[in-house]
Copies of this chain bind each other. A is one copy, B any other.
């Protein structure tokens, strides 16, 4: 490994001069400067990031933790984060929270491998997040109810979104609305479930536990739920799935069994993932402004890095996107 020492030697200067020249951070004559740069080039010198980070206790890097790197849901979010991070001349690393306590994400949180972190993951311990946030390591937390001094919260109004979704179904004349739930331990799911129940009550309808199905936020979960309905011989006229993945799973299951989505059964989802518009029939859903969230998250991170911690919590609305899965 070629170090700055080698460069200095080759250029016939001291280490510090080499460092100054390389980083353009001190008074160096043009001539020496050129000599150092040339030496560095010839030697193919590249600074050791770890040494630099250790010394400066900065990494110029923002970490983005998502619950599963492979999930389709994060595509838009990442796009937003990526654009803004790049524009601010920071580096970005995406990290998965799969594995919980032993995950790479957990390590990053503890070991300060980045200057700041954006978290959009439910499978990461509360305490971990709370204790990781410091002045020199701000955290932007998306859609989780953890508060703290150096934690900046961005939330989507899941309650209101679910309320609107349910009301939409009600407005179309449905009186019996099933709910396919996401992960039980998820804040998102909880809020959506509350919104669902609240809309029911507000419209004088009773909440019926028999109409609740477990789906765990994955396509297979929605599929299983729908199959269960079919096997029970009773398919409700309307279904609110706590996310699109599950809604799509249900649509597939109904498709296989000849149940006509949009006619026999109305389905609404949540998220507006990319496939939503391609399934048959196209899925009516509550759009989460993920791209905007990504951009916003980076803006806030950058401000926090500059020492400016905003007080207010940010709450973004979800938007009803009507397609055809609830009928024409």
Q: Which residues of A contact B (CB under 8 A)?
A: 1, 44, 46-51, 53-54, 57, 59, 61, 68-72, 75-76, 78-79, 82, 86, 91-96, 98-99, 103-104, 107, 110-113, 131, 274-275, 278-280
Cα–Cα, bound, A131→B91 (Å): 21
Q: Is the CB of B70 within 8 A of A82?
A: yes
Measured between beta carbons, the chain B residues less than 8 angstroms from A72 are 72, 75, 274
Q: Is the CB of A98 within 8 A of B111?
A: no
Q: Is the CB of A93 within 8 A of B93?
A: yes
Measured between beta carbons, the chain B residues less than 8 angstroms from A98 are 82, 86
Nearest opposing residue in chain B for A77, CB measure: B70
Q: Is the CB of A44 within 8 A of B131?
A: yes
CB distance from A41 to the nearest CB of B (A): 12
Q: Is the CB of B82 within 8 A of A93?
A: no
Cα–Cα, bound, A1→B57 (Å): 10
26 A-B residue pairs with Cβ-Cβ distance under 8 Å, sorted by A, are: A1-B112, A47-B111, A48-B54, A48-B111, A49-B107, A49-B112, A50-B112, A50-B113, A69-B78, A69-B82, A70-B75, A70-B76, A70-B79, A71-B75, A72-B72, A72-B274, A82-B96, A86-B98, A86-B99, A92-B96, A92-B104, A93-B93, A93-B104, A275-B275, A278-B278, A280-B280
Cα–Cα, bound, A70→B99 (Å): 22
Nearest opposing residue in chain B for A219, CB measure: B274
Q: Is the CB of A111 within 8 A of B46?
A: yes
CB distance from A128 to the nearest CB of B (A): 11
Q: Is the CB of B91 within 8 A of A92?
A: no
Nearest opposing residue in chain B for A110, CB measure: B46
Measured between beta carbons, the chain B residues less than 8 angstroms from A49 are 107, 111-113
Cα–Cα, bound, A98→B113 (Å): 21
Cα–Cα, bound, A147→B181 (Å): 50
Q: Is the CB of B82 within 8 A of A107?
A: no
Cα–Cα, bound, A48→B113 (Å): 8
Cα–Cα, bound, A37→B75 (Å): 41
Cα–Cα, bound, A198→B103 (Å): 48
Other 14 A-B pairs with CB < 8 A, given A46-B112, A70-B76: A1-B112, A46-B111, A47-B111, A49-B107, A49-B111, A49-B113, A50-B50, A50-B51, A51-B54, A69-B94, A70-B78, A70-B82, A72-B72, A82-B98
Measured between beta carbons, the chain B residues less than 8 angstroms from A94 are 69, 93-95
Cα–Cα, bound, A98→B87 (Å): 11
Cα–Cα, bound, A28→B110 (Å): 25
Measured between beta carbons, the chain B residues less than 8 angstroms from A112 are 1, 46, 48-50
Q: Is the CB of A95 within 8 A of B92?
A: yes
Measured between beta carbons, the chain B residues less than 8 angstroms from A54 are 48, 50-51, 54
CB distance from A322 to the nearest CB of B (A): 19
Measured between beta carbons, the chain B residues less than 8 angstroms from A107 are 49, 91
Measured between beta carbons, the chain B residues less than 8 angstroms from A82 are 68-70, 96, 98
CB distance from A87 to the nearest CB of B (A): 10
Measured between beta carbons, the chain B residues less than 8 angstroms from A96 are 82, 92
Measured between beta carbons, the chain B residues less than 8 angstroms from A113 are 49-50
